[in-house]
Amino acid sequence: MLLVKSKYKIAKRLGAGIFEKTQSQKFALSETRSKKQRSRAVSDYGRQLLEKQKVRYTYGLSERQLSNYAHKAFEEKDPSSALNTALELRADSVVYRSSLASTRRAARQIVSHGHITVNGKRITTPSYALSPGDVVSVREGSRRSPLFAGLAEKNPESMPSIPKWLEFDLSTLRAEVKSIPSYDSSIGNLDYATVFEFYSR
């Protein structure tokens, strides 16, 4: 698991959206003031490094993991879409996207501790690759765990929005991957094309 010593320090460099705990109005205002103070030209290498680090910390990956994902995706017809698909269809990402965990870090822990099944089979690898048709569920023996206590009784309207490529049943704590996650470079704060530039140096 990726260990992060100073999330606030990293988020000031890469952007508030990197970690859930830094996604606040107070932090955003502080970041705006800091950017004005340190505004300067950034080299191509610096820009590429920042984008690569954004992806790393957003998905909680080691340098080696991201490098492997990027090099494999670069062989595909649409590298950016391929990389997005690989990262979004990790087991921990699906657990997070389906609202079974409130943060990506919590999702990684939930998977690694064996609380999740895929198509009825228990898994413990956060990077486990899912495909359309796969069903992710909370293991029967884990449903009474404090991790999921009260989740089934929550009002669906109070839950975060679920991506269109996922179908989630709150009453059964079950999510199904319905399709390949779509990727739009104009949406979101991750620039995969720049990440490929970094690795192609």
Is the predicted pLDDT of residue 21 greater than 70, yes or no?
Answer: no
pLDDT at residue 155, rounded to an integer: 62
In this predicted model, what pLDDT tens digit does every residue of 173-189 receive, in sequence order? 999 999 999 998 777 78
User: What pLDDT is recorded for position 108?
Assistant: 97
| Model confidence pLDDT, tens digit, residues 80-93 | 999 999 999 999 99
Sorting pLDDT into bands at 50, 70 and 90, what band is 120? Answer: very high
Note the pLDDT of residue 185.
Answer: 77
Among 37-46, 66-75, 88-97, 115-124, which is the least confidently predicted range? 37-46
Q: Which helix (H) or strand (E) holds 168?
A: strand 166-169
CB under 8 Å to 169, separation ≥6 — which residues? 175
How sure is the predictor about 15, in pLDDT bands with cuts at 50, 70 and 90? low
CB 124 within 8 A of CB 112: yes
Backbone dihedral angles phi then psi of residue 94, each to the nearest 5 degrees: -65, -40
Q: How is the beta sheet containing 174-177 ordered, strand by strand? A: 121-123, 116-118, 135-138, 174-177, 166-169
The full set of domains in the chain, from first to last, is: 45-89+186-201 (1.10.1050.10), 90-177 (3.10.290.10)
Q: What is the pLDDT of residue 97?
A: 95
The pTM (predicted TM-score) of the whole model is 0.79
Cα–Cα distance measured from residue 156 to residue 115, given in angstroms and rounded to the nearest whole number: 22
